[in-house]
Structure formats: C-alpha cells, structure tokens
Structure 1
Amino acid sequence: MAVEILTKEDLNHFKSELLTEIKSLLKQNQLSKKWLKSPEVRKLLNISPGTLQNFRINGTLPYTKVNGIIFYNYEDIVKILEQKKIHRSNS
C-alpha cells in the first residue's frame, strides 16, 4: 500500500475547491426554489407563525395566496433582509 503525504498547500487547495462546490450547490438550490411556503419562511427567518402573520398584515413581506396556500418570493425575503442590514462603523 502506497503512502501519500499531503501538504498544507494540498489541503488549502482542497478546501478552496470544496467551498466553491458548496457555494455553487447553494446557489442552484436558491435559484430553483423561487417560491417558499410559510413553514420554510419561518424556519429561514427563525420567526413564529404570529410574527410571519404580522409581516403579512403590516405589508412588511409581500405574499401570494393560491388555493389557500400562502407563498413568499425568495427575492422579496432577501430584499427585506438587505434593507434591515445594520452597518456599524469602527470609530
């Protein structure tokens, strides 16, 4: 059985390739799932059903209702998160 020696450079290269692959898979998953149901949104934002309902009522989060099922556009969720982003200065 042959022995292979791995260097730090080998491991860094592997890490870089792995991260690129994971990012690619996550991006594909986000693009393939344009519309999310309420449980998915609650899990994504870590909020309760009542909070999600308040977001609908006060217009914070737009939604679409089809046959009694509420759907949320993934891009709308990302947009809201970007708008609420807090920027702190290092002064």
Structure 2
Amino acid sequence: MPTSIITTDDLREFKMELLDDIKNLLTKQSSGKIKRYLKSSEVMDLLQISPGTLQNLRINGTLPYTKVGGIIYYDAEEIQNVMDANRVQHDLNS
C-alpha cells in the first residue's frame, strides 16, 4: 500500500477549503436555504434521539409536528425554539 506524505501546505489548503464550506453552510442557513421541514429520521439524527423518544416528544406536546399523507414533518425553526426554551443555564456564583 503506497504511503502519502502530507505537507503543511496540504494542511493549509485543507483548512481553507473547510472554512469555505463552513461559511457556505452558514450563509445558506441565514438566507433560509436549508430545509425548513424535516422528516422524523432527520430529527432523530439532529437531536440524537431514538424513535421512541421522538414519539414521546410528539405525544406530550413538546415537539409540534404536521402529518401529511402518513409522513410526519417537523418545522426546523420550531425545533430550535423548543431547544432554546428548554435551555438550562447554571449560575456558577451560587
């Protein structure tokens, strides 16, 4: 198996490409080009939760959803609102 030598120039080029990709993602997100509605599998991946946990979040009303033709959709902005509303901040001065 042939080996490759990675130079500092290679790493610098990789860093610049990675930064460009991150900038593009942030630009798309701020301009609203990222998907607004997510399917259950996408929400489970995003939140790192199981199907049962996602179902519980729907049942107890924590996570709003829309059902169209048997497919459940979640508004990405509403998911962010739920995350913000349930943020826990610890006061280190107490």
Q: TM-score, normalised by structure 1?
A: 0.72
Map 1:1-80 to 2 at 5 A. Answer: 18=19, 22-29=22-29, 31-32=32-33, 33-80=35-82
Partner in structure 1 of residue 89 of structure 2: 87
- 1:56 alignment partner AA: R
Counterpart code for 2:22: I
* 1:45–1:88 distance in 2 versus 1, CA, 3 Å: same
Gaps in structure 2 of 5+ consecutive residues = 1-8
Q: Which runs of 5+ in 1 are unaligned?
A: 1-5
Q: Deviations over 1:29-83 (max 9, x none)?
A: 5722000000000010000000100111111000001110000000010001101
User: Which amino acid letter does the alignment assign opposite residue 46 of structure 1?
Assistant: Q
- Structure 1 CA distance for aligned equivalents of residues 46 and 82 of structure 2: 13
**Amino acid in the other structure paired with 2:46:** L
Q: CA RMSD in A?
A: 2.5
Distance 2:87 2:23 in 1: 22
TM-score (norm 2): 0.70
Structure 1 runs, 4 residues or longer, greater than 4 Å off: none
Q: Within 1, Cα distance between the matches of 2:73 and 2:27?
A: 20
